[in-house]
Amino acid sequence: MKILIFGGAGFVGGNLAIFFANRGDKVLCVDNLVRRGSENNLKRFKNYNNISFLHGDIRNVEDLNQIALNPDVVLECSAQPTAIDGYKNPMFDFTNNTSGLLNVLEFCRKRNSGLIFWSTNKTYSGDKCNSIPIIEKETRLEWSAPDNFIHGWTSKGINEDFDINGGSHTIYGITKVTADLFCQEWAQAFDIPVIINRFSCLYGPYQFGKVSQGWITWFALAKKFNYPLTFYGFGGKQVRDYLHIDDVGGLIEKQIGQINNHRGSYYNVGGGEKYTVSVYELEQLLSQMFNNFEPIKNEHPRKADQKIYISDISKVSDDFNWEPSISLKTGLGSIFDWINSGEEDFEWLPRK
């Protein structure tokens, strides 16, 4: 199988490149290397004869035209992924996440390639998510409404029928909503095999975490290197479902196997109701792991923050016979081992 990964030097793309290279596939990674740390993945690729790299940017059609490979499937993992930064420069988010995606869709149409697109839980409005009644427990917020109180929500979480209308998506979120819908439209209009995954919190080793994105790995890095940590609203009791990068690889492998049966199918993907954690609970776990009990600063909530987001993964589980399997303890252990392995220089971390 020939696989092209846009954003191939990033956290998701880099890990998937190695996952599929180990499977024996031919992998081409394309990345503009704009995010600090992504160049470190190029060192990992040197261990594989079946991974090649091209420096390019999906915003430039000329870069896509120089790609010689005609892939069976394209994994579109490239994005400006930081939810809060878009308010400072919304056009940067738009050109990266929406207009760049149109170039990718046209590439797939002309090359007869399938596409798997990385969407986000920010497809759903923070205001809509926060309209579900909640109660406050000792370490986390919990939903308190009965099943089906709100269309698209049950005690399992938020499913694909949840309303995408309204504001409070973040600029990042709305650019991904737009791209999500473009994928659905192009798939049906031009008969392109497309699957859209609206991912919740992804984490794992080789993630270049920072305050505004990759929060689980960022918290681990902060504990190790003594960076200050902040709870942005709710006393850190906001809750997310989490999904380890190795579980992502297993899903994408199954989706690639069925890609020709899909024309714009969309899925909410995360750890689901079995794999959830609050920010406060994560901080407590990492304090023990790294023996770092520095006090946490509390600030006001950020724009469009979802108090609770848990993916209802029933649809993706049923369609692909897939479920996540990696617990938070195991997943954090993989990050701990990576941080302490000595193979990463961590020069990409922000200056204190």
Residue 350 located in a structural domain: no
Q: Is the pLDDT reported for residue 352 higher than 80?
A: no
Report the chain's terminal Cα–Cα distance, integer Å.
Answer: 44
CATH number of the domain where residue 248 is located = 3.40.50.720
Cα separation values, 69 from 21, 301, 317, Å: 16, 45, 32
Domains: count for the chain: 1
Pick the residue with more confidence: 86 or 55?
Answer: 55
Range of the domain at 254: 2-339
Residue 346 located in a structural domain: no
The phi and psi torsions of 340 (rounded to 5 degrees) equal: -95, 5
Instruction: Please count the other Cβ atoms lying within 10 Å of the Cβ belonging to residue 1.
Output: 14
**Banded model confidence at residue 344, pLDDT cuts 50, 70, 90:** confident
Summarize pLDDT for 66-109 with one digit per residue, the tens: 999 999 999 999 877 665 565 677 777 888 889 999 999 999 99
Residue 212 located in a structural domain: yes
Average pLDDT taken over every residue of the chain = 93
Q: Is the pLDDT reported for residue 139 higher than 90?
A: yes
pTM for the full model? 0.95
Report how far residue 178's alpha carbon sits from residue 86's, in angstroms, rounded to the nearest whole number. Answer: 15
The phi and psi torsions of 314 (rounded to 5 degrees) equal: -60, -45
